[in-house]
Structures are given as C-alpha cells and as structure tokens.
C-alpha cells in the first residue's frame, strides 16, 4: 500500500501546519511500518524529514496554495500507484482519482476572510480561490480530519453534507514543553537570552491580525508595570505595524522582538514567563496555548471556541477583541501549574472576567491534558 501525503508546508519557515504535518509523519513512521509513504515537501526542505525506510520525500515545486494545486493536483507528481492521498492544509485540488483524506485546520477563509487578507482588492480574489479549494475538499474527500470540536462545528455549519465524514484528531505539543526542573536556572537562562532579569509576559505566533498582537500591545501599554517587559516571538516575519503601534504608545523599548529561536530557547522563555498571552481573534486549535500550559505557565486567551476548548478550564479567558482592564491574582492552594507556585502572578489585559478553575487564584484544580 502507498500513501501520498501532501506536506508542502514542510519548509524552513515555521507554521502550525508544519508542526502538525511533522508530527503526523513521525507518528506514521512508528505505527505503519508496512505502508510506504511518499511525502511532498517544499523545495527549500532539503534535509531528510524522517529516517524511517518506508518514508520517502519528493520535492514538489508548485506552490501549496497555487493554481496548479487547486486545478490539477494530480499533475504535480505521479499518483498512478497512490492508494490514498492526504491533503494536509485545508484545500483539496482536482485531479486526484484515488481515495482522499483532507485535514481542515480552520474555516477562517469561509467564516471570516477579512482576517486572512487585509487588502480589500486582493481579498475577494484570494477568498474565492481558497473557498473553492476548501469546499471542493469538503465535497470530495472520503475522510475529513479536523483539529478541534470548534472547527468541526464550523465545518458542519457550512457543509452539513460532510458531517458524517468528519473525525476530530486534536493536536498535541512536543514532549519538550514541560515544567522546568529548576525555575531559578530557567529564569537565569531566560535572562541571558533577553539580556534582562525583569519579569515578562510572552506571546508567540505569526504577525497577522487574527493573532491579536495589536491587542497585546494595547493591553501592555495600559496595564503593565514599569518593571515588566513583553516578549513577542514572531515565527515568520517582522512586525512593522505592531512595532509602530508600540512606539506610538511609548512601550517599544520595553518589548523584546524575537525571531529564529531554537526550540530549546523557546521552551525556556515559555517556562520562565510570568503569563502567556493568546488574544487571538480566530483559531482552529491554538498549539502555543497548549505548549505554555504544558510548561506550567499561566495562560490568558480570548474566549473564542477553539481556545476555550483547548484550555478546558485551566486558564483565564477574556472577551475576544477587547484589550482593556487588568486583574491581579495570587496562587491558590493546589496550584494548577506544576512547579510554578512560587512565581508572582500578574494577569494583565483583556477584561479578565472569568474566574476559571485550574488557574492560580481561580480556586480550582487543573484539567490534566
């Protein structure tokens, strides 16, 4: 049996879909040794993605979200011996004649295209293209995988005919995201990375409107103490608009703008952070929230369905799109976050109005993930 996985998000640039696809391949390598896998990768992915003998990779130069993929996926490479084709990034193109699996990470191109493309001239063009690819996949795929109940509900809303083919396969984070053995050593290493010993809030993600980093800047400027800092880790590009906003609000010099961190350094910064912030306007899942929780770091996230689902009560939620307000809490007995009870707790921003179980000061116990 031969399975082809369209993994063209596998490239040097980090992304949530890349994380998902990498984990998928690692999992298959361990449980399906009698199946041959061919993985399509981006041209800049020159290193081997797996050492397993049954996983081969093929460079496919056509862009993952380009016209060639949408209108004739079958012509991107030879699929004559393919028994199952798995499209891993929301769209399924035409020209695939074998059984297919489609992973839909979120429905934002259909549900809220304004968050996907800010340019009003390009938006209808890109939205029409992506919506056709998603709808084609929802119509034709033999099995539809999605990463959360929230995403499954939206698929059912816009494509009720596909409901019987949906299976929820939640994401997980790497095992390296765990509480530190020594919080003091962790803080020392974080101080070396930042060149600063002051306490800090942290956020991770691509600089896109949907991630709400503008809300973080607004809340930080309004509520943070002078001796507190903000660490923004942008996985892809810089953040000129957000940086301009920070300068206008007088907090630019109190923000650490980071790119290109190793995974080990990212884990260290998460472990040592005072609070992890994810005020996203839209998510299909929200892996950084899970990573931060696994590190024992308190989380404040917007109250959108996917993040509420991921936190499962072990975090504080705030009304989506709001950045006003400041709440401060102390650790509660039976602190939900392992090895973190000694840390000062400062919860800032986003109208923190929910007294969630499982959060320091929330009066409950952690939901184990």
Distance CA(126)–CA(109), nearest Å, equals 9
pLDDT of residue 331: 31
- 84: which strand partners? 3
Q: How far apart are CA 197 and CA 193, in angstroms?
A: 10
Q: What are the tokens at 210?
A: 């949907």
The pLDDT, as a whole number, for residue 315 is 87
Tokens of 349: 């921003």
Among 308, 309, 237, 284, CA closest to 90 = 284
Q: Give dist(CA 133, CA 300) in Å, integer.
A: 34
Q: What is the mean pLDDT of residues 338-367?
A: 32
d(CA 290, CA 196): 26
- Torsional class of 149: left (φ above 0), alpha (ψ -120 to 50), beta (otherwise): alpha
Which of 162-166, 207-211, 216-220 shows the lowest mean pLDDT across its residues? 207-211
Confidence of residue 135 (pLDDT cuts 50, 70, 90): very high
* Contact predicate 351/322, CB 8 Å: yes
Residues of the chain with CATH 3.40.50.2000: 2-168, 183-348
Q: Which pTM does this prediction carry?
A: 0.84
Pick the range with the lowest mean pLDDT from 100-114, 144-158, 161-175, 345-359: 345-359
SS3 143: strand
What mean pLDDT value characterizes the chain? 85
pLDDT at 209: 81
Which ranges constitute the DSSP H helices of the chain?
Answer: 16-31, 67-72, 108-111, 123-140, 149-158, 183-194, 213-223, 240-248, 263-272, 287-294, 305-311
281 φ/ψ sector (left φ>0, alpha ψ -120 to 50, else beta)? alpha
CB 323 within 8 A of CB 349: yes
Is the pLDDT reported for residue 312 higher than 80?
A: yes
Could you report the per-residue pLDDT of 13-67, keeping only the tens digit for each? 778 898 899 999 998 888 888 999 999 999 998 889 998 999 999 999 999 999 9
Q: Let me know: does 207 contact 213? Beta carbons within 8 Å.
A: yes
Cα-based distances in Å from 84 to 51, 90, 143, 193? 22, 17, 11, 45
pLDDT value for 330: 30
Determine the pLDDT at residue 238: 59
CATH architecture of the domain covering 2-168: 3-Layer(aba) Sandwich (3.40)
Q: Count the neighbouring beta carbons within 10 Å of the beta carbon of residue 238.
A: 11
> What pLDDT sits at residue 237?
60
User: Does pLDDT of 327 surpass 80?
Assistant: no
Tell me: domain 183-348, CATH 2.60.120.330, correct? no
Mean pLDDT confidence for 155-176: 95
For strands 326-328 and 36-41, give the pairing: unpaired
Q: Which residues pair with 257 in a beta bridge?
A: 232
Residue in the structure block whose two tokens are 């765990």: 178
- pLDDT-above-90 percentage for the chain: 64
| Angle in degrees, CA 345, 278, 195, rounded to 5 | 60
Band the pLDDT of 74: cuts 50, 70, 90.
Answer: confident
Lowest mean pLDDT among 128-142, 175-189, 268-282, 345-359: 345-359
Contacts of 321 (CB under 8 A, 6+ apart): 212, 215, 281, 302
């Amino acid at each position: 049996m031969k399975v082809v996985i369209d993994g063209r998000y596998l490239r040097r640039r980090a992304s949530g879909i890349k994380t998902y696809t990498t984990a998928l391949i690692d999992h298959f390598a361990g449980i399906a040794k009698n199946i041959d896998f061919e993985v399509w990768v981006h041209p800049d992915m020159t290193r081997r993605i797996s050492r397993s003998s049954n996983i081969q990779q093929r460079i496919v130069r056509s862009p993952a979200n380009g016209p060639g993929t949408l209108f004739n996926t079958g012509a991107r490479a030879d699929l004559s011996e393919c028994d199952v084709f798995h499209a891993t990034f929301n769209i399924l193109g035409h020209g695939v004649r074998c059984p297919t699996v489609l992973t839909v990470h979120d429905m934002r191109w259909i549900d809220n295209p304004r968050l996907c493309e800010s340019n009003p001239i390009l938006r209808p063009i890109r939205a029409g293209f992506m919506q056709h690819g998603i709808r084609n996949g929802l119509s034709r795929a033999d099995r539809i995988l999605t990463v959360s109940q929230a995403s499954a509900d939206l698929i059912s809303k816009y494509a009720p005919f596909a409901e019987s083919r949906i299976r929820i396969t939640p994401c997980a984070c790497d095992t390296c995201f765990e509480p530190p053995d020594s919080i003091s050593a962790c803080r020392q290493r974080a101080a070396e990375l930042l060149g600063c010993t002051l306490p800090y809030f942290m956020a991770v993600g691509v600089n896109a409107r949907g991630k709400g980093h503008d809300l973080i800047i607004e809340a930080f400027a309004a509520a943070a103490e002078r001796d507190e800092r903000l660490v923004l880790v942008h996985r892809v590009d810089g953040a000129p608009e957000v940086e301009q906003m920070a300068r206008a609000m007088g907090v630019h010099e109190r923000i650490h703008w980071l790119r290109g961190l190793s995974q080990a350094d990212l884990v260290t910064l998460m472990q040592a952070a005072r609070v992890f912030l994810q005020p996203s306007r839209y998510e299909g899942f929200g892996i950084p929230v899970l990573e931060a929780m696994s590190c024992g770091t308190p989380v404040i996230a917007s109250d959108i369905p996917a993040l509420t689902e991921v936190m499962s009560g072990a975090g504080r939620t705030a009304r989506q799109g709001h950045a006003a307000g400041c709440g401060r809490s102390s650790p509660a007995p039976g602190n939900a976050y392992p090895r973190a009870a000694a840390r000062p707790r400062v919860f800032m921003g986003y109208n923190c109005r929910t007294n969630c179980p499982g959060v320091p000061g929330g009066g409950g116990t952690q939901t184990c993930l």
